[in-house]
Amino acid sequence: MNNDLIYQGSDLMLDRLPLAAIAKEYGTPVYVYSASSIRGQADRLMQSLGTIGSLRYAVKANANPALLALVFGMGIGADSVSRGEMQAALGAGCPADRIVFSGVGKTQEELAFALDRGIFINAESEEELAAIARLQTGVHVGIRINPCVDAHTHQYMTTGMAENKFGIPIDFAPRAFREAMDKGLVPDTISCHIGSQITSVEPYRKSLARLLELRDSLMSDGIPVSALDMGGGFGINYEGGADFAVEDLQALLHRDVPQGMKLSFEPGRYIMGHAGTLVTRVLYRKRYARTFVVVDVGMNDLIRPALYQAHHAILPVTRRDSELVTCDIVGPVCESADCFARDVSMPLPDQGDLLAIRDTGAYGWSMSSTYNSRPLLPEVLIEDGEPVLIRERGL
């Protein structure tokens, strides 16, 4: 959880600044980020997984240029899944040789863009490998393998099972590596990503065992695999408890991975999730069969609760001692799915009160849209105790 988001008296503060003051200056709804939280999470990764391999931030989690520059300034690379994300990473100061290009549906233009700049590609199908070879031979590539491991996460976040669209099933991997070599490529990396918001090290243990068995088989067949990309997916606790123990994954990999084999990781949510707080204002209350608190932020601004039934704690920006009521926090979008919390117990807010939806730094703004012709939200970064507008409100 973001330890920089705390109450001081009755005022909710982020990095020692009252959120009410930020809402007054920039309006609502507004995304607010803590630079110290980002640095703290990134540092934890660097002190654990960063000691045994390379870290690349998953740009899709949040691609604001100011936040990218902050992360890349710490020496972390970039994981991208589109030309736009590659350009965003390059524009924010990430060297091309520290960017990896993943994604199940790369276009010819995107592949050419990556190859022209020396960006490493993780291929996800045999036909994609052929497309790369038509553009350039002699290039080192990774091949994403689907190890058929259940990550025990939401069905839309699972990416490592046979029914998922990602990667090449592990039983077909030897053929894919051999065909890549025959086409003049150098497939020296096994890539894998089994899902997002993973809370246990066990799926990684199962995946690693299968990938190392594959690696041994490829090596015996004369295919020199020298690197293993474990992907990301490290979960954070949206309930206020402990996050995924990256230190346990570090210990597992340190023990089981052959010496000299290169490792890499692509965390996104783990770095950015806790850093974000979405501040919204209460518009109306409706007390009939249910009690609804209607706020000015909509599912177009934060789709995770509607899409994943995700939980985000909601706190009053000004704490008050009054009778608790059971209510639903809902937005203005014309969909019944536009609900941020159901049956939440809290003091009934007044019209005009501010609420804070916490842990919205990852897959918040980056998944937003202009549905209902609503403008995209502004973003504010708190750095050294000062708020900085890093994206203006607008369409």
Contact 261, 213 (CB under 8 A): no
334 is catalytic: yes
Which one of 148, 192, 327, 334 is the catalytic residue? 334
Please report, in angstroms and rounded to a whole number, the separation of the first and last CA atoms in the chain: 31
Question: Quick one: which of 180, 198, 202 has its CA closest to 189?
Answer: 180
Angle at 359 between CA 354 and CA 362, to 5 degrees: 120
Encoding tokens for residue 352?
Answer: 């005009």
Chain-centroid distance of CA 37 in Å reads 15
Q: Which residues pair with 11 in a beta bridge?
A: 8, 318
Q: What whole-number distance in Å separates Cα of residue 49 and Cα of residue 248?
A: 10
Question: Quick one: which of 274, 231, 305 has its CA closest to 53?
Answer: 231
Catalytic residue annotation: 334
